[in-house]
Amino acid sequence: MNAATDKPVTRTELPTPYLLFMGDMTEPGFAKTAFGLHQWVPERCVGELAFSGSVLSTGLPRLSAADGKARGARAVVIGVAHPGGALAESWIAPLVGALEAGLDITSGMHGRLGDNPALADAARRHGRTLFDVRVPPAGIPIGTGAKRSGKRLLTVGTDCALGKKYTALAVARAMQARGIAADFRATGQTGILIAGGGIPMDAVVSDFLAGAAELLSPAAAPDHWDVVEGQGSLFHPSYAAVTLGLLHGSQPDVILLCHQPGRTHILGRPDYPIPDLGTAIEAYLAAGRLTNSAIRCGGISLNTAALDEDAAAAEIARTEDRYGLPAADPLRGGPALERLIDFSLNTTA
């Protein structure tokens, strides 16, 4: 995914609108890409590719590949992630049918589309393109630690999979709504599909993680903000390395700590408890000072999806009182989110 554009290392123009492929998965957690695209860029989603085994749905119309093409779709996006990151054999025939109908295919899974002989052959015969989003660009340098102009905000977490991407998207959009020059910088496959470009940090060789983050958030105007999507967690024994590389390379002026109330242990690691939020903030600030001595925490982002409105408001208030920082659920918005953004933007805080 390295077609030349104004930023050839970090951007590729992906064909849109999308027809979302839901596969034959049954667990919503395996369809984060489809649900994320539907929530954040619904104007780019024409419908879902009809598939006999499909159980999950975003609620979009179910269409054949030909119908999707007729409604303006240019590509099928694989909206689900199969365990292990490989293409399921049951998916190949409908995906070949999509190529035959004149659609490209875009995937964010670890398994590459072109490695499947049937897909590669069909794409070649029908003049279609296979886009593998989870392939880092060539030529990523090592990080330099050199200070860059512009401002950067990075979302970090007490754990994985608790809202770092959604927080970054919501904050970037809220900044833009205020007239602030701000860009969402994607570091994972779903974010890249939403933004139209980015770098898949979990596919970058570890020596080049900081360099990739520097490329992703280059020097900019003094009042410009890059809102960088976080990955992993310093407290996850499997994924702390990608978090640290992203933290050092993005050199954030501000971090937002993301947390899910009620989560007691690290995802998939029951022997590792979720850290206290104050302890987590200090750990991130200490690590971030290597490349930005002025790094600070702009607040706490809470994923309150499991709580009703009153319980969420109470949890936000308790968190603010305990840690002395603004707290908000960015997807709920409202005054709490505005306070968090005000504090993040306040360079004298």
Q: Where a domain ends, among 103, 132, 161?
A: 132
Q: Helix (H, G, I), strand (E, B), or coil: what is residue 211?
A: helix
Please check whether residue 10 lies inside any domain of the structure: no
Same domain, 110 and 212: no
Helices 32-40, 164-177: axis angle to 10 degrees equals 10
Please check whether residue 144 lies inside any domain of the structure: no
By CB atoms closer than 10 A (0-12, 13-18, 19+), residue 26 is exposed
Same domain, 156 and 246: yes
As a whole number, mean pLDDT of residues 47-51 equals 89
Q: Where a domain ends, among 98, 132, 166?
A: 132
Give the residue numbers spanning the domain of 124: 18-132
CATH number for 77: 3.40.50.720
Same domain, 39 and 118: yes
Same domain, 183 and 53: no
CA 141 – CA 158 distance, rounded (Å):
29
Q: Are 225 and 153 within 8 A, CB to CB?
A: yes
- Residues present in the chain in total: 349
Same domain, 275 and 218: yes
Please check whether residue 162 lies inside any domain of the structure: yes
Please check whether residue 25 lies inside any domain of the structure: yes
As a whole number, mean pLDDT of residues 130-148 equals 93
The pLDDT value given to residue 9: 38
Please check whether residue 1 lies inside any domain of the structure: no
Q: Where a domain ends, among 97, 132, 167?
A: 132
Same domain, 164 and 43: no
Same domain, 85 and 180: no
pLDDT tens for 82-131 read: 766 788 899 999 999 999 999 999 999 888 999 999 999 999 999 999 99
Same domain, 196 and 256: yes
Same domain, 181 and 290: yes
As a whole number, mean pLDDT of residues 245-250 equals 98
Same domain, 338 and 263: yes
Please check whether residue 140 lies inside any domain of the structure: no
pLDDT tens for 187-245 read: 999 999 999 889 999 999 999 999 999 999 999 999 999 999 999 999 999 999 999 99
Same domain, 264 and 171: yes
Please check whether residue 211 lies inside any domain of the structure: yes
CATH number for 265: 3.40.50.300
Same domain, 118 and 223: no
Helix H, strand E, coil C: the string for 136-199 is CCCCCCCCCCCCCCCEEEEEEECCCCCCHHHHHHHHHHHHHHCCCCEEEECCCHHHHHHHCECC
Percent of the chain residues past pLDDT 90, beyond the cut: 83
